[in-house]
Structure 1
Amino acid sequence: MEILPLVFTAIATVGLYACFYRWVQHRNLRGPRVWPILGSVLDVSRNHWRMHDYAYDYCKKYYPTYVTKMPGFNYVVTVDPANVEHVLKTNFSNYDKGEEQHLHLGDLLGDGIFNADGDIWKKHRKVASYEFASKGLRDHSFHNFKNNAVRLCQILDRAAEENKPVDMMDLMLRLTF
């Protein structure tokens, strides 16, 4: 009797069991439907063109927090201020970015504040906090925000006078970038 088909069958059985076990563990998560192996890929890909509305819909449905399972990673979406404070302030050190993010984004972000953890991140944050607290940045930001607000009002007034619809998303993106 050939041993290769038995080995293949054993590996396939263990693999399918592992996938099924993970699916059973995660099928009751609050969020999009979870499929074995695929996670929530089908749901997310069907809604990729409306991702913000999609996330908003799930935030309303599963308020205040939901989980989306994807192959290889999960992401958690929360709109609870207490959860946000816990992650970004109270218990920040428990939510590191990890080696995998550094590996994938290292060429783009290096060891900067958006890709660093621990002491390196603290060093970058300390330097950045001085810059963001400076009077020069405040004055520059105020000037730009004021000019953009004036432009926004002019555009909206003109659209209202001409009774024309306004694509607010396009307008906001133009004013922020």
Structure 2
Amino acid sequence: MSSILVLSGSPSAVSRTAALADHLAGRLRAHGHTVGAVRVRDLPAEPLVRADPAHPEIASVVEAIAAADGVVVASPVYKAAYSGVLKLLLDLLPQFALAGKVVLPVVTGGTTAHVLAIDYALRPVLSSLGADHIVPGWFVLDQHLEQAPEGLRVHQGTAAELYRVVDAFSGAVAARRPLVPTS
């Protein structure tokens, strides 16, 4: 069984990006993956700002990334890039923390003018961290995400394309998982 870690890089307590990350984690679990999740905003601020990778909570995230076969990196767009809180975490990772991983970037934003944030801001950083395979990411307009009592609702047209990308990521992770010999 493949393991996936979903990183939510939203600094907000109530966040469409975090809700979307949770929603995608559920879909990946339904595909049979073991899925963990980290909301970067919940990590202690001081070790993030002081760049302290030895702090136990930061070290735990680094270990979770190392153990994962795939990583979903979700962020809202801020100033035409990914969030600062996500940058703080990515800056603490070892140089090749994503080596051997399949990575899915997912970005949310208020206007399609920010759609290139994936390719011009997030993808280069993920690549510099050694990601073996960065699948085509997906940009979701905030207005296509609705928080409802029963969970997140994704606009029908957006959902079909988003799920196509997530399902392709799921397949790529499963395909890269080494076979475990049976005795």
When normalised by structure 1's length, the TM-score is: 0.21
Q: Which has the higher contact order (CA 8 A, sep 6+)?
A: 2
When normalised by structure 2's length, the TM-score is: 0.21
Q: Which has the higher strand share?
A: 2
Structure 1 or 2, whichever has the larger Rg, is 1
